[in-house]
C-alpha cells in the first residue's frame, strides 16, 4: 500500500511540474524569443512602397503561418515586405514603412506580452501616413465581440494610434488564405 501511495505522489508531482512548465511557456511568452530572424520579399513589378510584418510565432507556429500569408499577399499587391520575428533587429526599426502589421497568438482572449510591448513601443509620429494592422491567431470565435476583447488587451497609448488600426482575429479552423487576403484588403483600403 505504501508503494502505491509513493507512486501516486510521484505521478502527481510530475503532473504539477508539467503544468507549471506549460504555464510558464504561455505566460512568460518564451516562444517569442525564438523569433529573431527576418527576410525580405520583393514584388515582381513596380513597388507600391515598403511593408513590415512583425510576428510572435507562439507555441504552435500558427501565427507565423498567418504572418507568412499576410506578407505574401502584400508582396502580391506590389509591396517590398520585410517579414520580421518580434525579437529581430528588423522589428525594432519601423521608419520608412507605409504598412506595418503586428501579430501573434491569442491566449486567454488577449495578445501576448511581446506583441503588447511591440505595440506600445511603435513610434507612429514620423509624419508618415502609416497603415497599421494587428492580428491575433488562435482557437475560438472571430466575432465582433472577440475583436472587442482583443482590442481591450492593447496597451494604452497617449497618441491613440492603435484605435485607427485594422484588427482581426484569425481562428485556427478558418481558411487562412481567405482571411489573410481579406485582412490585407481591409488594411490597404
Locate the domains of the chain by residue range.
30-188
Sort 61 into a burial class: Cβ within 10 Å, 0-12 / 13-18 / 19+: middle
Sort 155 into a burial class: Cβ within 10 Å, 0-12 / 13-18 / 19+: middle
Grid cell, residue 131, equals: 497603415
Q: How far apart are CA 40 and CA 17, in angstroms?
A: 41
Predicted confidence at residue 32, as pLDDT, reads 65
Predicted confidence at residue 66, as pLDDT, reads 93
Predicted confidence at residue 29, as pLDDT, reads 65
Neighbours of 66 (CB within 10 A): 28
Grid cell, residue 168, equals: 482581426
Class of 30-188 per CATH?
A: alpha beta
User: What contacts 14, CB < 8 A, 6 or more positions away?
Assistant: none
Predicted confidence at residue 128, as pLDDT, reads 56
Distances (CA, A) of 42 to 67, 72, 82, 152: 16, 10, 9, 35
Grid cell, residue 12, equals: 502527481
Grid cell, residue 63, equals: 501565427
Backbone phi and psi for residue 91, each to the nearest 5 degrees, phi listed first:
-70, -20
Predicted confidence at residue 141, as pLDDT, reads 62
- The rounded average pLDDT for each run of 10 residues, N- to C-terminus, in the chain (189 residues) is 88 89 65 73 88 89 91 95 92 88 87 87 66 86 76 72 82 85 92
Neighbours of 171 (CB within 10 A): 19
Q: How far apart are CA 75 and CA 135, in angstroms?
A: 18
What are the start-end ranges of the E strands in 56-165? 79-85, 99-107, 110-111, 131-138
Predicted confidence at residue 188, as pLDDT, reads 92
Amino acid at each position: 500500500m505504501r508503494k502505491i501511495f509513493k507512486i501516486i505522489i510521484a505521478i502527481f508531482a510530475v503532473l504539477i511540474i508539467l503544468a507549471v512548465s506549460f504555464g510558464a511557456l504561455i505566460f512568460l511568452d518564451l516562444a517569442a524569443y525564438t523569433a529573431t530572424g527576418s527576410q525580405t520579399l520583393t514584388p515582381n513589378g513596380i513597388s507600391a512602397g515598403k511593408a513590415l510584418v512583425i510576428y510572435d510565432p507562439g507555441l504552435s507556429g500558427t501565427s507565423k503561418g498567418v504572418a507568412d500569408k499576410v506578407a505574401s499577399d502584400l508582396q502580391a499587391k506590389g509591396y517590398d515586405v520585410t517579414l520580421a520575428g518580434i525579437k529581430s533587429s528588423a522589428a525594432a526599426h519601423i521608419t520608412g514603412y507605409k504598412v506595418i502589421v503586428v501579430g501573434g497568438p491569442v491566449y486567454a482572449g488577449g495578445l501576448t506580452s511581446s506583441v503588447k510591448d511591440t505595440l506600445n513601443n511603435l513610434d507612429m509620429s514620423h509624419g508618415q501616413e502609416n497603415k497599421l494592422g494587428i492580428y491575433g491567431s488562435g482557437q475560438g470565435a472571430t466575432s465582433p465581440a472577440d475583436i472587442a476583447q482583443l482590442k481591450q488587451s492593447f496597451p494604452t497609448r497617449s497618441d491613440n494610434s492603435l484605435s485607427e488600426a485594422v484588427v482581426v482575429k484569425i481562428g485556427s479552423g478558418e481558411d487562412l488564405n481567405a482571411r489573410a487576403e481579406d485582412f490585407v484588403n481591409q488594411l490597404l483600403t
